[in-house]
Amino acid sequence: MDLSADFRLRDPAVYARWYGEEHRAPAWLAKFVYGLPELHRNEIRNTQYISGVGCNATATNLALLPLARANLLDTTRPIIVDIKVGSSEGGNSPSLASHHPERSGAVRTFAAVGHRHTAEVEQELGLTNVHLSITSIEMVRGVLATAHCFLKAGTTEKDLWRAYRATYRDEPFVRIVKDKQGIYRYPEPKILSGTNYADVGFEFDETTGRAVALCAIDNLMKGAAGSAVQAMNLMCGFDERAGLEFAGLHPI
């Protein structure tokens, strides 16, 4: 299991485009299965090679997956994904930008265009018109992906409910969060810290055809180590949920 980005993309030409260099082991790319169980559960059970997942890609993929599977997206129009992230996404190499006194009170866009995780989303969802923008906020861990897209003419909110329920009704770690009132009407990274859960939600304006698809995760869990353990459980024939059922501390 490789948690780097080396084996996430299947096409060496796509890797070169997004990472700025030729892949050093292109013959190995086809051996790896992308390590997000919600997308590749059966393949993960039957492989010996798993790639890691990008945290921003995971949140985006899970937000949009029901719409893509149900063929509801108007793919002639761009999909714009605004992603808010915490400081832990900056990796383990400190810098002035990631220093917490400097980050206090900050809302800082650091990848307005061209984020590498875009390639994972397009590959896994079969899309070609996805655009990610990443903004760091005053949060240590967590990702909130807000995807703005347009749906095909004639789509109704009931179609979205059917799509999300069909996609996630049997998923042990994905929950649909969509309420008319209260603090947590939509997915919120704060309540997912330390968990392998992904909360998804949506809103839809039938008059314009615009949908907003949301997903919140802990980038260190569902966006990295949690998905890796989940994939390992599947590979080894363990209970998929083993070691991953911590539900979080907030709200208590």
Q: Please report whether residue 12 resides in a domain.
A: no
Would you state the pLDDT for residue 92? 67
Q: Please report whether residue 39 resides in a domain.
A: no
Position 250 pLDDT exceeds 90: no
- Number of domains the chain is built from: 1
Position 183 pLDDT exceeds 90: no
Q: Please report whether residue 207 resides in a domain.
A: yes
Q: Please report whether residue 240 resides in a domain.
A: no
Domain that holds residue 216: 54-221
Query: What confidence category does residue 101 fall into, taking pLDDT thresholds of 50, 70 and 90?
Result: confident
Position 252 pLDDT exceeds 70: no
Q: Where are the alpha helices (DSSP H) in 126-219?
A: 157-168
> What is the rounded distance in angstroms from the CA atom of residue 197 to the CA atom of residue 215?
10
> What is the rounded distance in angstroms from the CA atom of residue 74 to the CA atom of residue 150?
6
Q: Please report whether residue 217 resides in a domain.
A: yes
Mean pLDDT of the chain: 94
Residues recognised as catalytic = 55
Per-residue pLDDT reduced to its tens digit, 9-61: 999 999 999 999 999 999 999 999 999 999 999 999 999 999 999 999 999 99
> What is the rounded distance in angstroms from the CA atom of residue 113 to the CA atom of residue 132?
6
Peptide bond into 251 cis (omega under 30): yes
> What is the rounded distance in angstroms from the CA atom of residue 125 to the CA atom of residue 118?
11
Q: Please report whether residue 82 resides in a domain.
A: yes
Looking at residue 208, which CATH number applies to its domain?
3.30.360.10
Of 42-46, 90-94, 232-236, the range with the lowest mean pLDDT is 90-94
Would you tell me how many other CB atoms lie within 10 Å of the CB of residue 205?
12
Would you state the pLDDT for residue 99? 74
Q: Is pTM, for the whole model, over 0.85?
A: yes
Position 197 pLDDT exceeds 90: yes
Q: Please report whether residue 143 resides in a domain.
A: yes
Query: What confidence category does residue 182 fall into, taking pLDDT thresholds of 50, 70 and 90?
Result: confident
Would you state the pLDDT for residue 181? 82
Would you state the pLDDT for residue 157? 97
Using alpha carbons only, what angle is made at residue 66 by residues 141 and 163, rounded to the nearest 5 degrees? 130
Per-residue pLDDT reduced to its tens digit, 146-175: 999 999 999 999 999 999 999 999 999 999
Q: Please report whether residue 251 resides in a domain.
A: no
Position 221 pLDDT exceeds 60: yes
